[in-house]
């Protein structure tokens, strides 16, 4: 058990002993409402006491099965042994010096690991930051500095963060952008290969969508004006859309032919989540720059931009950084998380989760026509719900109702998608197979009752 759950001491079981949320959570929720800004939401207002392996324990003594990993963060579990050990040791030595004032080895070691693990055998360098949005912003700074160009191309359904520049890069208005403009200029959005909704069908989608995207870039922006093309190799918040085959390699080739920096935003899809270290490996795409965060440090805030040394070095000395970027405790946690990923072979675990989930979900789809599409890779799996499999009209109410039903039974699931009609499953990669199946039983029962 200890090994399977990455060292979590928590009993790996679902336990529902009160209504969810229970009375103590409701009390805390009242205090929260009085003092926490209303714009900061929570999927499920159940207040956490401990979490680890595949479960989250709350103040009322409930133990929930975790199919969210704090949005694809705690892939190694929320209290993985190596993360706790290394971060605790670092915490006792020093919490901070600021790498820009006096450096420390942990930062360098994380950059060495990133150079080794990311695709491509070219010379690589990295810079570390605190959040995914900050990494994406810095990728844009670096690409502009290298190319001496300004335009940035992003895609329909893309998500890249909530800071001003990354709001501009993000596709969806509500809730991410609404009322928060004006947004940064020189950002252009083009079509992505969304196979399930492509008018001429999924088979034609990859090459057709790539041709449309490239046509728009050349006609509306001018390839020679583009500093960077930024894409998530599997789109996260936009609905776990895997760009149809051929799309990513074609866009990467176009970028290369035109001196454009190709940036893979692997903040959600990276670090074993899809059954590979990085999702872009699936079609052999080697990005110029890659942004990482979420799964990198077992729950501690850390983010990185990694890429070709000559691009990374193009920013002038002192041009990149930040007070906390690459915090020593977060770096120690990252080294513990990466150690856990290697030792427990979490890529293999993610592939096994895919096998179990897709098997069960495919059987459900035969019974429940509301399940329009099953997609994703590894432990990044989603189902898109529709009112009718022919028209594919989105069914966000069904997704909301299903999530609610799962929560009441002690299974934490998340929704996503441009139309709000996608249920996404992001269990910690260390979840036990019994819990995984119990979670899927709950989903199946919820569909039966819908
Ligand atoms: C979550 C996410 C971000 C933003 O990361 P934060 O740490 O929330 O700033 C950027 N890109 C992708 C693909 C993400 O999933």
User: In percent, how much of the chain has pLDDT > 70?
Assistant: 98
238 lines ligand 1 (CB under 6 A): no
Examine the pLDDT at 5 and tell me if it is beyond 80.
Answer: no
Query: Pick from 254, 257, 311, 316: which is nearest to 288 by CA?
Result: 311
- Ligand 1 pocket test: which of 134, 160, 280 has the largest number of ligand atoms within 8 Å of its C-beta? 160
User: How many C-beta atoms surround the C-beta of residue 182 within 10 A?
Assistant: 7
Gap from CA of 389 to ligand 1 centroid (Å): 31
SS3 letters across 166-206? HHHHCCCCCCCCCCCCCCCCCEEEECCCCHHHCCCCHHHHH
In our burial notation (b when 16+ CB lie closer than 10 A, e otherwise), range 285-319 reads bbbbbbbbbbbbbbbbbbbbbbbbeebbebbeeee
Examine the pLDDT at 1 and tell me if it is beyond 50.
Answer: no
- C-alpha–C-alpha distance, residues 283 and 262, integer Å: 15
Examine the pLDDT at 2 and tell me if it is beyond 50.
Answer: no
What is the position in ligand 1's atom list of the atom closest to the CA of 294?
7
Examine the pLDDT at 8 and tell me if it is beyond 80.
Answer: no
Task: Dump strand ranges (E) for 309-379.
Answer: 371-377
pLDDT reported for residue 7 = 57
Task: Please report, in angstroms and rounded to a whole number, the separation of the first and last CA atoms in the chain.
Answer: 35
What is the position in ligand 1's atom list of the atom closest to the CA of 265?
13
pLDDT reported for residue 4 = 46
pLDDT reported for residue 9 = 81
Query: Pick from 274, 257, 308: which is nearest to 377 by CA?
Result: 274
Give yes or no for a contact between 430 and 350, defined as CB atoms under 8 angstroms apart.
no
- C-alpha–C-alpha distance, residues 209 and 192, integer Å: 6
Arithmetic mean of pLDDT, 143-167: 98
Assessment of whether the complete model's pTM goes beyond 0.95: yes
DSSP tag of 444: H
pLDDT reported for residue 321 = 96
Hey, what CATH class is 23-66+345-449 in? alpha beta
State the sign of the Cα–Cα–Cα–Cα dihedral 170, 194, 304, 426.
positive
The pLDDT tens digits for 175-188 are 999 999 999 999 99
User: How many C-beta atoms surround the C-beta of residue 30 within 10 A?
Assistant: 9
Range scoring the smallest mean pLDDT among 6-15, 124-133, 294-303: 6-15
265 lines ligand 1 (CB under 6 A): yes
Gap from CA of 167 to ligand 1 centroid (Å): 11
3-state helix, strand, coil in the chain (%, to 5): 40, 15, 40
Average pLDDT, the chain: 97
The pLDDT tens digits for 231-260 are 999 999 999 999 999 999 999 999 999 999
Arithmetic mean of pLDDT, 280-290: 98
- C-alpha–C-alpha distance, residues 321 and 72, integer Å: 25
Examine the pLDDT at 272 and tell me if it is beyond 80.
Answer: yes
The pLDDT tens digits for 30-58 are 999 999 999 999 999 999 999 999 999 99
Gap from CA of 293 to ligand 1 centroid (Å): 7
- C-alpha–C-alpha distance, residues 404 and 129, integer Å: 35
Instruction: Parse the chain into domains and list their residue ranges.
Output: 23-66+345-449, 83-343
378 lines ligand 1 (CB under 6 A): no
Give the C-alpha distances (Å, rounded to integers) separating 190 from 115, 126, 219, 286, 384: 30, 28, 12, 21, 22
83-343 has which CATH code? 3.40.640.10
State the sign of the Cα–Cα–Cα–Cα dihedral 28, 30, 31, 32.
positive
Four-CA torsion 196, 201, 203, 205, nearest 10 degrees = -70
Q: Which residues pair with 226 in a beta bridge?
A: 151
Gap from CA of 22 to ligand 1 centroid (Å): 31
DSSP tag of 121: S
User: How many C-beta atoms surround the C-beta of residue 321 within 10 A?
Assistant: 16
For 380, the 3-state DSSP assignment is strand
339 lines ligand 1 (CB under 6 A): no
The pLDDT tens digits for 404-437 are 999 999 999 999 999 999 999 999 999 999 999 9
Query: What is the distance, to the nearest Å, from the Cα of residue 105 to the centroid of all Cα atoms in its chain?
Result: 27
pLDDT reported for residue 6 = 52
Contacts of 56 (CB under 8 A, 6+ apart): 46, 48, 50, 63, 64, 66, 78, 412
CA atoms within 13 A on the CB side of 112: 6
């Amino acid at each position: 058990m200890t090994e399977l759950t990455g060292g979590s001491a928590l009993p790996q079981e679902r336990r529902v002993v009160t209504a969810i949320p229970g009375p103590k959570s409701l009390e805390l929720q009242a205090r929260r409402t009085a003092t926490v800004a209303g714009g900061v939401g929570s999927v499920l207002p159940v207040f956490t006491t401990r979490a680890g392996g595949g479960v989250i324990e709350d103040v009322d003594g409930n133990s929930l099965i975790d199919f969210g990993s704090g949005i694809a963060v705690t892939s190694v579990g929320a209290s993985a042994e190596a993360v706790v050990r290394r971060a605790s040791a670092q915490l006792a030595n020093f919490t901070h010096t600021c790498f820009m004032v006096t450096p420390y080895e942990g930062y360098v070691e994380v950059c060495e690991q990133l150079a080794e693990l990311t695709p491509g055998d070219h010379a690589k360098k990295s810079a570390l930051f605190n959040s995914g949005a900050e990494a994406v912003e810095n990728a844009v700074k670096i690409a502009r500095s290298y190319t001496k160009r300004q335009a940035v191309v992003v895609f329909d359904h893309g998500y890249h963060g909530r800071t001003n520049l990354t709001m501009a890069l993000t596709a969806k208005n509500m809730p991410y952008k609404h009322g928060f403009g004006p947004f940064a200029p020189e950002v252009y959005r083009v079509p992505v290969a969304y196979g399930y909704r492509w008018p001429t069908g999924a088979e034609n989608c990859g090459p057709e969508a790539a041709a449309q995207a490239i046509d728009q870039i050349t006609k509306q922006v001018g390839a020679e004006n583009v500093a960077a093309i930024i894409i998530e190799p599997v789109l996260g918040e936009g609905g776990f859309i895997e760009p149809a085959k051929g799309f990513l390699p074609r866009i990467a080739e176009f970028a290369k032919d035109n001196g454009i920096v190709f940036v893979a935003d692997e903040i959600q899809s990276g670090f074993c989540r899809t059954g590979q270290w990085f999702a872009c490996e699936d079609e052999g795409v080697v990005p110029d720059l890659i942004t990482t965060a979420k799964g990198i440090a077992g729950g501690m805030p850390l983010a990185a931009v990694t890429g070709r040394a000559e691009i990374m070095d193009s920013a002038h000395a002192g041009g990149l950084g930040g007070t906390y970027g690459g915090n020593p405790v977060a770096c120690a946690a990252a080294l513990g998380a990466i150690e856990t990923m290697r030792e427990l072979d979490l890529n293999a675990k993610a592939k096994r989760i895919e096998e179990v989930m897709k098997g069960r979900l495919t059987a459900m789809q035969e019974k429940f026509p509301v399940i329009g599409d099953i997609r994703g890779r590894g432990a990044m799996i989603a189902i898109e719900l529709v009112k009718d499999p022919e028209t594919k009209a989105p069914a966000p109410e069904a997704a909301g109702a299903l999530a609610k039903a799962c929560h009441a039974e002690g299974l934490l699931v998340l929704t996503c998608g441009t139309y709000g009609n996608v249920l996404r499953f992001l269990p910690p990669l260390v979840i036990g197979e019994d819990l995984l199946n119990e979670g899927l039983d709950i989903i199946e029962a919820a569909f039966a009752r819908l």
